[in-house]
Structure 1
Amino acid sequence: MAAVANGNSNLVVETSKSESKDFNVQKIVDMFTKLNPLAKEFFPSSYHHNPTKTGDFNQVPANKQGNYSNRRGRNNNQGKRKLNGKAFQAQAQAQRDDSIRRTVYVSDIDQSTTEEQLAGLFSNCGQIVDCRVCGDPNSVLHFAFVEFADEEGARVALNLDGTVLGFYPVKVLPSKTAILPVNPTFLPKSKYEREMCTRTVYCTNIDKEVSQAEVKNFFESSCGEVTRWRILGDNVHSTCIAFVEFAMAESAVVALSCSGLVLGTQPIRVSPSKTPVRPRVTRPTSG
């Protein structure tokens, strides 16, 4: 099929060798002006008509609208997740504040006083939730935190300030910190694991830049052979914690005197561990 234009602005359309038809350009223009631009044939299927306005069309394709709605939905969900995270942090802070109000700080404790004896002193103040004695075993005096089930117990406990326990009068003040709870599943479950605890220390405020090998070498060079150790950290706290198990219980006692020494850039805090360092369970790999 061929088309040839002559000098008189006439368009000659050759449909076949045997027949041809002349169309004037103006006739073609007139023909197109009579077409209806709103006819279904001239409107893309991705556009849809707004029935509320005659002759008006929504200029956003239907499939694009769906994607936009999905994006808004995803953003809303992300906002909810952020709010949930903030709510969780606020709830955790409220729980810590409540625990602090229920805790007293006890100082000038005779080094021979056990946690059981200290808890016995405060047993008449209210139900005791936890009792932690801390301090260098080589020091004459220790300190402790005693947490009660309610704030009333902590208020009553303040009246015991000056009570003689062992050879010294203890000082009882409102606590500024909460006792870090111990997961019951981590507590010793056998006589052997209780013996492991006597050889283990709990170390806090460890510089995150310090490697596990450096922690091991630090305690081995000062205290004795380390048989097992574990360092734990997260993205929330600026420092790490560690559990260090020694071959001998005497080494763990010596390690307690390392509290306050600088490891990396931070002075560490060392206390007796209430939990053993259990060996990691290795799962067999499927071949």
Structure 2
Amino acid sequence: MAAVAEMSGEAAAATAVPPSAKNSNSDSKSEFRREVQTLVDMLSKLNPLAKEFFPSSHSHDRQQNHDQLSQTDFFSLNKQSANDAYPNNRRRRNNFNQGRRRLNGRSFRAQREDSIRRTVYVSDIDQHVTEERLAALFSSCGQVVDCRVCGDPHSVLRFAFVEFADEHGARAALNLGGTMLGYYPVRVLPSKTAILPVNPTFLPRSEDEREMCARTVYCTNIDKKVAQAEVKNFFESTCGEVSRLRLLGDHVHSTRIAFVEFVMAESAIVALNCSGMVLGTQPIRVSPSKTPVRPRVTRPTLH
């Protein structure tokens, strides 16, 4: 190897011909070039990774490195080469996902705008008017899809949103402005917002579950310190026998909610008058439930 280095050094020195060498014999120049070319040809045939160029102590390490490369880096090298072969794959995939999100966003906005056009805003509603009674008033204009009465239960007047199956029903509902409902004439205007839909999996699935909804009320603003037994005793002492009660809450909200199912539908109607009554330290709000209280499914224990 040292001899080769010396030869290559001499060849490099020989190639650096000083200007004075131009006056040398042309035959000696030709012979010198042939020797240099022969040396270059010999060096080009050498393999720097050949076994004889490495000491024997390095052979074991080289074999281990080769095994690790073949086992751990084979797939990563293939993956890298595949990405190099198709550099636009990731960009195309990202563009496809962004396009799909934009499409879903446009579809959602279109559905929301259509729902707004089918909805009217009703204000100056007597606090004793129920959602069923309000929906019955507007049913003469078209099919009512949803009806939500909102506002403080302590207020004399409340407001609501009524959604129809089509825009014709919403336009016809605007003519009912000034209609006496309870003790006050209602005002009807086009709505600027849509009604947040109820999760369809919670809606009644059969006639029996619809009958359960008629016997169920939805109670909100329940003090977190009030136990389920206290909620049940409150409604049973005021309204009637409770057949099922589901008290829900989490660590995020400051109050809890409950679904209270009575044995009799008349008890649920009486329970609507409990809005504003204090349970614990908070005045509760009670409204008709749109979902039944389904019994919990018990999973079989494995022995």
Gaps of 5+ in 2: 8-34, 46-76, 234-244
Other-structure match for 1:112:
128
Match for residue 217 of structure 1 among 215, 224, 235:
224
**Partner of 1:32 in structure 2?**
42
Q: 1:132: how far off?
A: 2.3
User: Does 2:216 correspond to 1:197?
Assistant: yes
1:104 Cα deviation from its structure 2 partner: 0.8
* SS of residue matched to 1:112: coil
CA distance in structure 2 between the aligned counterparts of 1:125 and 1:197, rounded to whole angstroms: 28
Instruction: Find the aligned partners of 1:134 and 1:175 in 2 and give their Cα distance.
Output: 14
Paired residues of 1:219 and 1:255 also in contact (CA < 8 A):
no
Query: Secondary structure of 1:109's match?
Result: strand
Q: Alpha carbon RMSD of aligned pairs, Å?
A: 4.7
TM-superposed deviation, 1:99:
0.9
Following the alignment from structure 2 to structure 1, what is the Cα–Cα distance between the partners of residues 86 and 256?
Answer: 46
How many residues are aligned here? 221
The two structures have a TM-score, normalised by structure 2, of 0.54
Greater displacement, 78-87 / 241-250: 241-250
Q: Which residue of 2 aligns with 1:12?
A: none
Q: Aligned letter for 1:29?
A: L
Cα distance, 1:139–1:27 mapped onto 2, change above 3 Å: closer
Q: Deviations over 1:36-89 (max 9, x none)?
A: xxxxxxxxxxxxxxxxxxxxxxxxx99854222456323422331232123212
Going from structure 1 to structure 2, the CA distance change for 1:71 and 1:245 (only over 3 Å counts) comes to farther
Instruction: State the partner residue of 2:171.
Output: 155
Larger deviation, residues 116-125 vs 142-151: 116-125
Work out which of the residue numbers 74, 83, 101 in structure 2 matches 1:85: 101
Question: What is the CA–CA distance in structure 2 between the aligned matches of 1:269 and 1:225, rounded to whole Å?
Answer: 15
Paired with 2:157 and 2:129, the residues of 1 have a C-alpha distance of 9
Q: Does 2:247 match 1:229? A: yes
Using the aligned pairs only, state the percent identity: 47
Q: Deviations over 1:229-263 (max 9, x none)?
A: 3459xxxxx999974235887897588439xxxx9
| Residues 202 and 26 of structure 1, relative CA distance in 2, 3 Å threshold | same
Among 244, 266, 269, which residue is 2:258 paired with? 244
Per-residue deviation, 1:273: 3.1
| Cα 1:63–1:279 shift into 2, 3 Å | closer
Query: Is the alpha carbon distance of 1:202 and 1:149 closer, same or farther for their aligned partners in structure 2, counting shifts above 3 Å?
Result: farther
Unaligned runs of 5+ in 1: 10-24, 36-60, 204-214, 233-237
Change in CA separation of 1:4 and 1:114 when aligned onto 2, cut-off 3 Å? closer
1:46 paired residue number: none
Give deviations 1:126-155, integer Å, cap 9, x for gaps: 332222233455543332211122223222
Kept after mapping to 1: 8 A contact 2:125/2:184: yes
Alignment of 1:176-195 (within 5 A): 176-188=192-204, 189=206, 190=208, 193-194=212-213
Deviates more, 1:78-87 or 1:131-140: 131-140
Q: Could you tell which deviates more after superposition, 131-140 or 98-107?
A: 131-140
Note if contact 1:131-1:146 (Cα within 8 Å) is conserved in structure 2.
Answer: yes
**Cα deviation digits, residues 198-219 of structure 1 (max 9, x gap):** 2x3367xxxxxxxxxxx76166
Contact in 2 for aligned 1:105/1:174 (Cα 8 Å): yes
Structure 1 length as normaliser, TM-score? 0.56
Counterpart CA distance in 2 for 1:129 and 1:241 is 30
Q: What letter matches 1:78 in structure 2?
A: N
User: Which structure's residues are more often strand, by fraction?
Assistant: 1
